[in-house]
């Protein structure tokens, strides 16, 4: 019984809060050493998160020809509550001042993500008011 008790105490000592915290701190220190003291090595200053808000008009550069762009707009359908995207015809030239330029992939991805909320078979049950 004496040997089992010492093995149990050794296992409990390894699982202590102080020991696990020391392991965590050592891991973080290794990450800081490898990562270059927290310096950022990005070469551009563009923001990484393009958030297209509902009702905001954005410019989307055409993939096949950089001289053209389309304007995109996301609007909520009042009857179903789903979001709809509207795209203009291609326009030649530079984007107007004050209009953000967003990549096409990001625009479509956000449209899909924002439109995932309504999974009801019958959006408006009897007696339920329309939004």
pLDDT tens for the chain, residues 1 to 131: 678 888 877 777 666 666 777 778 888 887 777 766 556 666 666 666 667 888 889 999 998 888 999 999 888 888 877 788 899 999 999 998 989 898 888 888 877 777 665 555 655 555 555 55
Give the closest residue to 91 by CA, choosing from 118, 72, 115, 113: 72
Say how many residues make up the chain.
131
Do 23 and 61 fall into the same domain? no
Domain holding 27, by residue range, is 2-35
The answer to whether residue 71 is domain-embedded is yes
The answer to whether residue 41 is domain-embedded is no
Do 63 and 29 fall into the same domain? no
Do 31 and 65 fall into the same domain? no
Q: Which helix (H) or strand (E) holds 70?
A: strand 68-76
- Structural domain tally of the chain? 2
The answer to whether residue 81 is domain-embedded is yes
Q: Which long-range contacts (CB under 8 A, 24 or more apart) does 16-24 make?
A: none
The answer to whether residue 125 is domain-embedded is no
Please report, to the nearest 10 degrees, the dihedral formed by the alpha carbons of residues 91, 51, 113, 131 taken in order: -90
Q: pTM of the prediction?
A: 0.51
């Amino acid at each position: 019984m004496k040997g089992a008790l010492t093995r149990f105490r050794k296992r409990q000592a390894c699982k202590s809060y102080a020991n696990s915290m020391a392991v965590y701190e050592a891991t973080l220190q290794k990450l800081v050493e490898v990562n270059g003291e927290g310096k950022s090595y990005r070469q551009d200053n563009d923001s990484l998160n393009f958030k297209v808000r509902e009702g905001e008009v954005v410019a989307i550069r055409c993939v096949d020809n950089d001289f053209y762009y389309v304007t995109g707009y996301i609007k909520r359908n009042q009857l179903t509550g789903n979001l709809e995207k509207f795209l203009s015809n291609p326009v030649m030239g530079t984007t107007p001042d004050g209009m953000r330029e967003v990549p096409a992939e990001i625009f479509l991805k956000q449209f899909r993500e924002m439109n995932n909320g309504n999974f009801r078979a019958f959006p408006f049950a009897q007696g339920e008011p329309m939004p």
